[in-house]
Amino acid sequence: MSTPPLASGPEGPRALRPLLDAVLEALEAGARARGGPLPAGGPDAVAARLREAAGEILPDLGHPHAVRTLVRAFAEGAADPADPLCAAHLHCPPLAVATAADLAASALNPSLDSWDQAPAASELEAMVAAALAREIYGPGAAHPPAPPAPTAAPGPLAPDCLVTTGGTEANQLALLLAREAHGGTVRLVVGANAHHSLPRAAWLLGLPQPAVVPAPRGTLDPAALDETLTRLTGPLLVAATAGTTDAGLIDPLPAIAARCAAHGTRLHIDAAYGGGLLFSDRHRTLLTGLDAADTVTLDLHKLGWQPVAAGLLAVRDPRDLTALRQRADYLNAADDTEAGLPDLLGRSLRTTRRPDVLKLAVTLKTLGRRGLGALVDRVCAHARQFAALVREHPGFDLYAPPVISTVLFRPAGATDAAVAAVRRALLTDGRAVLGRARPDGRLWLKATLLNPATDPDDLAALLHLVAARRATLVEGHTPR
Q: Which pLDDT score is estimated for 444?
A: 98
Above 50 in pLDDT, residue 86?
yes
| pLDDT tens digit sequence for 183-221 | 999 999 999 999 999 999 999 999 999 999 999 999 999
DSSP letter at 275 equals G
Interval 313-328 mean pLDDT: 96
Q: Evaluate whether 452 touches 94 at the Cβ level (below 8 Å).
A: no
**pLDDT band of 1, cuts 50, 70, 90:** low
Q: Is 296 exposed, middle or buried (0-12, 13-18, 19+ CB in 10 A)?
A: buried
Interval 233-256 mean pLDDT: 97
More confident residue, 152 or 320: 320
Measured between alpha carbons, how far is residue 409 from residues 89, 192, 208, 355, 388 in Å?
A: 15, 21, 37, 39, 11
| pLDDT tens digit sequence for 407-438 | 999 999 999 999 999 999 999 999 999 999 99
d(CA 264, CA 347): 27
Closest CA to 369 of 284, 289, 271, 274: 284
Long-range contacts: 438-441, Cβ < 8 Å, 24+?
A: 438/246, 439/218, 439/246, 439/247, 439/399, 439/408, 440/399
| pLDDT tens digit sequence for 373-384 | 999 999 999 999
**pLDDT band of 146, cuts 50, 70, 90:** low
| pLDDT tens digit sequence for 36-58 | 999 999 999 999 999 999 999 99
Above 90 in pLDDT, residue 304?
yes
| Neighbour order of strands in the sheet with 295-299 | 160-164, 311-315, 295-299, 266-271, 236-241, 187-191, 211-213
CA within 13 Å, CB half, 29 = 13
d(CA 175, CA 136): 19
| pLDDT tens digit sequence for 391-411 | 999 999 999 999 999 999 999
Radius of gyration of the CA atoms of the chain, in A? 24
Which neighbouring-strand residues pair with 438?
A: none
Interval 113-129 mean pLDDT: 97
**Phi and psi, residue 269, nearest 5°:** -120, 120
d(CA 88, CA 86): 6
d(CA 198, CA 187): 11
Measured from the Cβ of residue 12, the count of other Cβ atoms closer than 10 Å reads 14
Q: Which pLDDT score is estimated for 141?
A: 67
**pLDDT band of 479, cuts 50, 70, 90:** very low
Q: Evaluate whether 230 touches 194 at the Cβ level (below 8 Å).
A: no
Q: Is 197 exposed, middle or buried (0-12, 13-18, 19+ CB in 10 A)?
A: buried
**pLDDT band of 2, cuts 50, 70, 90:** confident
**pLDDT band of 142, cuts 50, 70, 90:** low
Measured between alpha carbons, how far is residue 439 from residues 230, 241, 245, 399, 409 in Å?
A: 28, 15, 10, 9, 11
**pTM of the full predicted structure?**
0.94
Interval 282-288 mean pLDDT: 98
* Average pLDDT over all residues of the chain: 94
Above 90 in pLDDT, residue 145?
no
- How distant is the alpha carbon of residue 219 from its chain centre? 20
Q: Which pLDDT score is estimated for 476?
A: 57
What is the percent of the chain with per-residue pLDDT over 70, rounded to a whole number?
A: 95
Indicate the angle between helix axes 12-34 and 96-108, nearest 10 degrees.
140
Q: Which pLDDT score is estimated for 157?
A: 87
3-state secondary structure of 52: helix
d(CA 169, CA 357): 16
Q: Which pLDDT score is estimated for 140?
A: 67
Q: What angle do CA 128, 131, 133 make, to 5 degrees?
A: 105
**Phi and psi, residue 138, nearest 5°:** 90, 155
